Chain A
């Protein structure tokens, strides 16, 4: 962390900005620690009071936990530093520009690219590939598992891109959110009927993991920017629907992926 501090002071060369950067970094660290603290606490309590068994490889677990905290901190800090402010400004600029074609293209690209980099999705796709290999659906080879996980992530990313496009068109046209959501859930229920049992759990889970670290801030910025630049739309009620779609469409597309393969 000290290195980081020095690095920054070289970069901006002024005391106020440096202490601001350090403050922001510490704040990000505190929030990563706060994310992890309850997990560590609950596991420690169960180990000490209930299980009373030693954890295997405790040292490696500790090192890994430190990696998670530091990694998440750097990740969020880096996003806050450059990509989020720029993405936020761009979302507003594009929303004001008034070209629906560019807006739709941007919406898809944003949804797709943020989902591909989503850490929680990488984690779940990896676990899904492992389970598929254990069950014998795919060959238990490193390359096969990787291909399966990547295919799953591409599917989810495509569906989030599609969801953001749908949400943007909804805001522009002013379609009612709840009717579209109910329609979407009906599609999920019908698809569940036809999808193979092995994919259903993964499909339902992938709806929950897409709305996480990167996607939510950027997509919400797009929605609010768009709703506030169109007359007669309120940022409060129209700006938020994008995320709701983004957790619905992955279920549909992943089930379709499971039916196709």
Chain B
């Protein structure tokens, strides 16, 4: 009975959450564009799928993604696991498994992200081939991985988040002036693209779990920020990658024009 009620309550909330989109789209179509809705039946069936899907997703979130993030944080920061029963105070470098886990989660989820592949293909075409699809994907994934790792380090040490983020903005700003102009909007977008709907809840729960189990941290002050780090660092890594591939491209072109016959190089 309890589960049924929980499912129903989540479903009612979902209806409330998804209603505005339906109202906006239908309202503007009927009142402003004043055209009948094409395929109304299909639209309604699609909307039913959206409601069912969102309900299931939110239920699964409570049952799997949140507990997973929390349990991993708890187990990785457990004093017995860290010190193996040895006495002595735990310092930030003792949490190396936490950093490695953060790195792996960031890298794995970003490299497999389907929407990132689309962006990478577009960048490849736009740059006339100087940006490679795999190069860009690895650049973004490294950015996310390093971002979440530094975010985890910040939670463990309790340093104020704004110092890291503002320093990051300054680096991004400086890079913007030197990066190839074409890549700049793409770099800014890549941060948001690489954190998917599945990654965000897990990473949020991981951060909160860390802040709850590391001694001396407050979940509210220290537990957030991993997502912000995961969005900021790919901007830097993508611009860095674009600059690097531009320099390499220019150098190999220069080399080819200087000695065209005796230095065959990869195109």
Q: Which residues of A contact B (CB under 8 A)?
A: 11, 31-32, 34-39, 41-43, 45-46, 50-51, 53, 55-57, 60-83, 86-87, 90, 93-94, 97, 102, 106, 109-110, 112-114, 116-117, 119-120, 122-124, 127-128, 130-132, 134-135, 137, 177-178, 181-182, 185, 188-189, 192, 197-198, 200-202, 204-205, 207-209, 211-214, 216, 236-237, 240-241, 243-244, 247
Given A74-B53, A83-B50, CB of A204 within 8 Å of CB of B113: no
User: Which of A11, A119, A135, A208 meets B231, CB within 8 Å?
Assistant: A208
Given A38-B111, A82-B45, A135-B218, CB of A205 within 8 Å of CB of B58: no
B84 at the interface (CB under 8 A from A): no
A-B contact pairs, 5 of them (CB 8 A): A46-B72, A70-B53, A123-B65, A124-B200, A177-B185
Interface residues of B in 127-173 (CB under 8 A from A): 160-162, 165-166, 169, 173
- Determine the main DSSP class of A at the interface with B: helix
Q: Do A34 and B114 have beta carbons less than 8 Å apart?
A: yes
Which B residues lie within 8 Å of A204 (CB)?
161, 165, 224-225, 227-228
The CA of A213 and the CA of B115, in the complex, are separated in Å by: 10
Given A94-B28, A109-B28, A116-B17, CB of A51 within 8 Å of CB of B76: yes
Q: Do A112 and B20 have beta carbons less than 8 Å apart?
A: yes
The CA of A46 and the CA of B185, in the complex, are separated in Å by: 36
How many residues in B have their beta carbons less than 8 Å from beta carbons of A?
A: 101
Which A residues lie within 8 Å of B64 (CB)?
60-65, 67-68
B255 at the interface (CB under 8 A from A): no
* B67 CB, min distance to chain A CBs, angstroms: 6
* B150 CB, min distance to chain A CBs, angstroms: 13
Which B residues lie within 8 Å of A132 (CB)?
220
Contact with A along B219-240 (1 / 0, CB 8 A): 1111111111011000000000
The CA of A202 and the CA of B134, in the complex, are separated in Å by: 33
Residue of B nearest to A40 (CB): B68
* A38 CB, min distance to chain B CBs, angstroms: 3
The CA of A106 and the CA of B56, in the complex, are separated in Å by: 30
Contact with A along B185-209 (1 / 0, CB 8 A): 1001101110111111110110010
The CA of A69 and the CA of B134, in the complex, are separated in Å by: 26
Q: Do A68 and B65 have beta carbons less than 8 Å apart?
A: yes
Q: Do A34 and B25 have beta carbons less than 8 Å apart?
A: no
Number of residue pairs A-B, CB distance < 8 angstroms? 310
Which A residues lie within 8 Å of B21 (CB)?
83, 113-114, 116-117, 214
* A243 CB, min distance to chain B CBs, angstroms: 6
The CA of A170 and the CA of B126, in the complex, are separated in Å by: 24
Q: Do A237 and B65 have beta carbons less than 8 Å apart?
A: no
Contact with A along B39-71 (1 / 0, CB 8 A): 101111111111111111111111111111001
Residue of B nearest to A247 (CB): B192
Q: Do A41 and B71 have beta carbons less than 8 Å apart?
A: no
Q: Do A51 and B75 have beta carbons less than 8 Å apart?
A: yes
Contacts A106-B28, A123-B200 given; 12 further ones with Cβ under 8 A? A38-B108, A43-B72, A56-B71, A61-B68, A67-B59, A68-B198, A74-B49, A109-B24, A131-B219, A135-B221, A208-B227, A212-B200
Q: Do B101 and A42 have beta carbons less than 8 Å apart?
A: yes
User: Which of B25, B41, B97, B191 meets A50, CB within 8 Å?
Assistant: B97
B252 at the interface (CB under 8 A from A): no
Q: Do A202 and B224 have beta carbons less than 8 Å apart?
A: yes
Q: Do A197 and B33 have beta carbons less than 8 Å apart?
A: no
Given A67-B57, A192-B162, CB of A72 within 8 Å of CB of B39: no
Rank and list the top 4 A-B pairs by shortest CB-CB distance, nearest first.
A64-B64, A78-B49, A64-B63, A67-B60
Q: Do B192 and A211 have beta carbons less than 8 Å apart?
A: yes
Q: Do B185 and A61 have beta carbons less than 8 Å apart?
A: no
Q: Do A36 and B223 have beta carbons less than 8 Å apart?
A: no
User: Which of A76, A189, A237, A247 meets B166, CB within 8 Å?
Assistant: A189
Q: Do B204 and A127 have beta carbons less than 8 Å apart?
A: yes
Residue of B nearest to A89 (CB): B38
The CA of A39 and the CA of B39, in the complex, are separated in Å by: 38
